[in-house]
Structure 1
Amino acid sequence: MMGVKQRILNILIAIDQLAWVLLTLGKGHPDETISAAAWRMEQQGKLAGRILRPLIDALFRPLERDHCWRAYQSEAMGRQLPDAYRCR
């Protein structure tokens, strides 16, 4: 059974993903968080990534180091996927 903390986290991630798609006027990946996108864009040498990634990482520093890199890794490895969608 899913706990209350996980449900709240799921809602926050969904809001984050929606915000990213809205901010990019539909150009952003629909399953990508702003943090993961910031890391990806910085690695691509884009100005938005070079600005956003350090800001986001600074905001999350009290909770987690290297937040954007961790968010990108989570997306790349499909860690957020339910068991039913994971390759076995």
Structure 2
Amino acid sequence: MKQILIAIDQLFNALFGGWADETLSSRAWRQQHRKTHWRILRIIIDSLFFWEADHCRQAYESELDRSQLPPEFRRVK
């Protein structure tokens, strides 16, 4: 179920001009210093995931670490 929710999240991000393999949470963290609406969205998303400290930051770091990918794809060449 978690993978389906991530896929839906990535779909919404792509529909609104983002990268296909990035979540809205990660994008909100990455873009928060560029435009006010991303900062506001980051605050809203972090509030929705109140049980996770810094959800958007964690999502961004997960993208950098490639931890959302299958283990075979995590190896850096």
Q: Same fold (TM over 0.5)?
A: yes
SS in 1 for 2:32: helix
Query: Structure 1: any 5+ residue segments left out of the alignment?
Result: 1-7
* Deviation at residue 47 of structure 1 after TM alignment: 1.7
2:6 is equivalent to residue 17 of structure 1 = no
Percent identity for Structure 1 against Structure 2: 50
- 1:33 matched residue in structure 2: 23
Moved over 2 A (4+): none
Q: Is the CA contact 1:41–1:48 (under 8 Å) kept in the aligned structure 2?
A: no
Largest Rg, 1 or 2: 1
Does residue 75 (structure 1) correspond to residue 63 (structure 2)? The answer is yes
Q: CA deviation at 1:50?
A: 1.3
The residue type equivalent to 2:6 in the other structure is I
CA distance in 2, matches of 1:39, 1:72: 7
TM-score by length of structure 2 reads: 0.90
Residue correspondences, number: 76
1:14-61 deviations in whole A, cap 9, x for unaligned? 010001111x1xx21100001001000113x21221110111111111
